[in-house]
Structure 1
Amino acid sequence: MGCFYCDEHHEGREAIMIEVGKMKAGTLYLFKDQAHKGRCALALNSHKKELFECDEQERNQYCADLAAASQAVKKLWGCTKINLGSFGDTNPHLHFHIVPKYEGGFEFGGSFAIGNPEPVLLKDEEYAEMIAALKQELGL
């Protein structure tokens, strides 16, 4: 079994997220579960497990990608706060979850769960609209 993010087609990844596009050092994905409207993940383009494994240029570009993607989510969907999380215990490829939180909304005021027992799934056209908006905002 290969890497969740490095494999061109990984069934597990494709089951839960859709690729938005490649940035300078990372690839942005939109989660299919949109209980947190705009939830994404940003995976490093090279296979590393930890942020400190990146050289200065790659780390700076990746962090700039993370900031730009977070800002785009905030601008597009107007969340109250962006939660960022990098875990990778069982998926050892550097990636950050970008989780918009909305005051009074799902999981606001606490940490976010990786999996949601009641996912909010959208129509294909709705995902396409969100991806197009992210691409436009990020210049992808």
Structure 2
Amino acid sequence: MKTNPAECLYCTKNKTQQDLMIKICDLSVSELFLFKEQSYHGRTLVAYKGHVDGLFELSDEDRNAFMADVAKTAAAMDKAFHPDKINFGAYSDTLSHIHFHIVPKYQGAFGWGGVFEMNPKQKYLSDAEYTQVIDAIKAAL
């Protein structure tokens, strides 16, 4: 299913996007966001800057740059939070704009040993706590 860029939350930067995530920074060909729902401490999302439905639609150069952004983000999360595992998800059933969920997992914590839940709606932070997480990611980038 292809999404119209005029209706895409990553392209329009609409209220839905603002309700779900906080922009951390721009990367080489993508934008890095912190998910507001933090059941998985440090969970982020890397979204390609242009409206592309699938990874296979990118040129080799852009795909490599996008995946380098994903890897750079995961390395920063590992450095900042020391998770036991980092999971990656690229789901686009209802929103076709290439993006990767980067989900740190911790033994004994929420969701360990299973597939991560997209939005468990269990843990939200204060503004100061969001700032701490974002600052830790930025420092590790």
TM-score by length of 1: 0.93
Pairing of 1:1-140 with structure 2 (within 5 A): 2-7=7-12, 9-116=13-120, 118-138=121-141
In structure 2, what is the Cα distance between the partners aligned to 1:122 and 1:107? 18
**Structure 2 residue ranges without an equivalent (≥5):** 1-5
In structure 2, what is the Cα distance between the partners aligned to 1:56 and 1:103? 36
- What amino acid maps onto 1:121 in structure 2? Y
In structure 1, what is the Cα distance between the partners aligned to 2:78 and 2:140? 11
**Structure 1 residue ranges without an equivalent (≥5):** none
Three-state SS of the structure 2 residue aligned to 1:88 is coil
In structure 2, what is the Cα distance between the partners aligned to 1:47 and 1:25? 12
Runs of 4+ with deviation above 4 angstroms = none
The share of aligned pairs that are identical, in percent, is 38
TM-score by length of 2: 0.92
Q: State the Cα RMSD in Å.
A: 1.0
Three-state SS of the structure 2 residue aligned to 1:122 is coil
Aligned residues of 2:39 and 2:122 also touching (Cα < 8 A):
yes
1:119, CA displacement in angstroms?
A: 2.1
Give the number of the structure whose residues are more often helix, by fraction: 2
